[in-house]
Amino acid sequence: MSRPGFVLEVDDRTPPLVVHEGEGFRLESFPLGTRVVYPPETLPALPDVEAAISEALLNPVDSEPLPALLRPGMRLTIAFDDLSIPLPPMRAPDIRQRVIEAVLTMAADAGVDDVELVAANALHRRMTADEIKHIVGERVFRSFFPQGLLYNHDAEDRQNLTHVGLTDQGEDVEINKRAAESDLLVYVNVNLVAMDGGHKSVPIGLASYRSLRHHHNAKTMIASHSFMDHTRSHLHHSAWRMGRMLSEHLKIFQIETTLNNEVFPEPYGFLMKREWEWSIRDQASMLAVRRGLSVAPARVKHRMFHDLRAPYGLTGIHAGETEAVHERTIQAVHRQQLVEVQGQSDVLVMGIPYLGPYNVNSTMNPILATCMGLGYYFNSYRGQPMVRRGGAVILYHPVKADFNQLHHPSYVDFYDEVLAESTDPLVVEEKYEQQYATDPWYVHLYRTSHAYHGVHPFYMWYWAAHAMDHVDDVIWVGADPKSVRRLGFRAASTLTDALEMASSTVGPDPSISYLHNPPHLITDVH
């Protein structure tokens, strides 16, 4: 039986603890009394994945079994989550491949021959053929991709979008035309964290800018407390309205999968263990990795990390009606990730690792680092934030102004033009969002190259808006001061300096919490 997550209070026996910082990590000695939140140990994986899949498809929740929904001559569309989850990418075979193969087998048995597969990448970059192949597997790829039946969703292809209608609050629901006009839409999800899945899958993953702008905006996102709790997230409320409205027009068969916390393969296994329990072998691995990282040139380091494939195991699979499925999914996610914490702190410390949802096979630029820290990690709570209102957040990341010009062309301009003028999400939205969202060059790159949509950096900034609104001070340790200043934050060289700087906000003797992730965790703050 794996141990649940827990909160360690740093005392004089506590060894230095791992803190991730981009393509590397450091061992940090925290002040005595610091609360360190460890995620639960990884849950055992389901022993028979095929059986679990089959069970879920044949005995779905609040729905007829999948074979009963399939008939010859129907239009079947299978949509699936793109490469932004799971993180790191899953070691082959990806769970989506196994689910899609099962669905396709049933469809073939039922004589369905009009099948298309759409990656639900919304305004994310188009995946390359190799990236799609990694998700769906060689067999599916070979059968569908060359024929043009397996492709990325194109949110700017006006010909292939359907405006389904408006929600009761007047929000446009516009999604992929093929999906909207299918007799059955099967959605294959990986519910890595609690904010994924549910009505976030179809109404967001297959939507256009016209539809997304109703919930992806500064106002809504400041009011989402938090993204990891769909019942208290305005963003999710909007998505739920859209999803309910869609389900009146379209039969959706939602398949959600949950993974355990096997994030790091060997020799990086020590990163998932508690430092005082490191074996000789773990310590040797740690020293070897640190030595390697210290001498490796930037490019090699980049590869060392980005070539990692996580040996995730499946902890659950549920299929059927979206909301009923998602209910069970969230329970499974919480079982693996939820940690109970008593009370807030003055200071929250987080280490930003090398990878976020939008820099798979790419570079984590300053905007993505901000989104990762203040958008995702900060919001990884239920109840109330880990840090009190008016507190301080200390983040670890180099924050180099390095951009991947292929994947993030609009980010470069956002950083140089927009952030140079204002870092206030509301101002930025008001003044620049339209221009970036409709810029023909960004649209061209989104559609034909592998670029995130022009508006995407704005969304990253809005993700962080709640945190920026909530805390009074954001300090980055070990970061490039110039880029951090551009982001509107401050830089410190050590934790001690950062705490000294924060003392003007939280006093000289603040309570401190450190989120020891990855692996993924959600705090349940009472």
Partner 1 sequence: MPDAPELPRVAQRLAGTKVLITGVTGFVGEALLHLLLTRVPDVTVAVLVRPKESVSGAARIQQLLSKPIFAEVAESAGGVETLTQRIDVVEGDLHQVPALPSDLDAVVHCAGDVSFDPPVDEGFRSNVVGTRDLLARVAEVGAHVHYVHISTAYVAGRRRGTALEQPVDHSVDVEAELSWGLAQRRDVEHRSRSADLLDRLRTKAERTHGRAGLLSAAAAAEEERRSWVKDELVRLGTERARSLGWTDCYTFTKALGERVVESYAAGAPVSIVRPSIIESALVTPYPGWIEGFKMAEPIILAYGRGELPEFPASPDSTVDIVPVDHVVAAIVAVLANPPEPGNPVWYHVSSSARNPLSFRRLYATVRGYFDQHPFEVGGRGAARLPEWRFPGAQAVERLLVTSERAHRAADYLVTHAPRADRTRDIARRLDRQQRRLEFLRRYLGLYQEYAQAELRFSDQNTRALFERLDPDDRATFAFDTAVTDWDHYLAEVHCPAVTEPVRQFDEARRARKRPSSGHLDAVPSGGSGQVAAFFDMDGTMLSSNVIESYLWLRLQELDGGDRVAEIGRMAARLPGLVRAERRERSGFLRAVYREYEGSRLDDLDAIADEMLTSHVLSKLAPEAVRRVREHRAAGHRTVLITGAIRPLTRPLLPLFDHVEAADLAVDDDGICTGFLAAAPLVGESRASWMRHWAAENGVDLAGSSGYADSHSDLPLLQAVGKPVAVRPDVALYRHATKNRWPILDWNSPPTTSRTLNPAGAMR
* Residues forming the site for partner 1 (CB under 8 A): 128-130, 298-299, 302, 363, 402-407, 409, 412-413, 416-417, 440-441, 444-445, 448-451
The minimum distance between CB 448 and partner 1, in angstroms, equals 8
b/e for 478-495, b at 16 or more Cβ within 10 A?
A: bbbeebbebbebbbbeeb
Two structure tokens written together for 422: 């204002």
Output Rg (C-alpha) for the chain, integer angstroms.
Answer: 22
Q: State in angstroms the smallest separation of the CB of 298 from partner 1.
A: 7
DSSP string, 284-335: HHHHHHHHHHHHS-HHHHHHHHHT--B---EEEEEEESHHHHHHHHHHHHHH
Pick 282 or 402: Cβ nearer partner 1: 402
Distance CA 136, CA 93 (A): 8
Question: Residue 348 corresponds to which tokens in the numbers above?
Answer: 């929250």
If the CB atoms of residues 411 and 463 are measured against partner 1, the closer one turns out to be 411
Backbone angles phi, psi at 196, to 5 degrees: -75, 170
Minimum CB distance to partner 1, residue 425 (Å): 23
Residue 442 CB, nearest approach to partner 1 (Å) = 10
How far apart CA 494 and CA 509 sit, in angstroms, is 17
d(C-alpha 321, C-alpha 247), whole Å:
9
**Distant-in-sequence, close-in-space partners of 486: CB < 8 Å, separation ≥ 6:** 366, 401, 415, 419, 420
Q: Of 284 and 298, which has the nearer Cβ to partner 1?
A: 298
Residue 337 token pair: 């990730």
In the bound complex, what is the minimum distance in angstroms from residue 412's beta carbon to partner 1?
A: 4
Provide the minimum distance between the beta carbon of 398 and partner 1 in the complex, in angstroms, as a whole number.
12
298-306 vs 280-295: helix crossing angle, rounded to 10? 140
Least distance in Å: CB of 479 to partner 1? 17
CA–CA distance, 5 with 336 (Å, rounded to integer): 9
Residue type at 325 in one-letter notation: V
In whole angstroms, the minimum distance from the beta carbon of 482 to partner 1 comes to: 12
Residue 235: closest CA among 459, 525, 432, 386: 459
- 449 or 504, CB closer to partner 1? 449
Q: In the bound complex, what is the minimum distance in angstroms from residue 194's beta carbon to partner 1?
A: 32
Name the β-bridge partners of 514.
36, 349
* CA dihedral of residues 403, 409, 410, 413 (deg, nearest 10): 60
Q: Which is nearer to partner 1, 30 or 403 (CB)?
A: 403
In the complex with partner 1, the residue whose CB is nearer, 77 or 404, is 404
Q: Closest CB to partner 1 among 405 and 504?
A: 405
Residue closer to partner 1, measured from CB, 128 or 504: 128
Shortest reach from residue 405's CB to partner 1, in Å: 5
Residues in the chain: 526
**Cα separation, 186 vs 53, whole angstroms:** 14
Nearest Cα neighbor of 66 from 286, 255, 271, 215 is 255
Cα gap 490→375, rounded to integer Å: 17
Residues whose CB falls within 8 Å of the CB of residue 336, separated by 6 or more in sequence, listed in order: 39, 40, 42, 43, 258, 259, 260, 261, 315, 520
- Give the shortest CB-304-to-partner 1 separation in angstroms: 14
Our measurement of the distance from residue 523's CA atom to the centroid of its chain's CA atoms, rounded to an integer in Å, reads 16
Residue closer to partner 1, measured from CB, 59 or 448: 448
CB of 359 to partner 1, least distance (A): 11
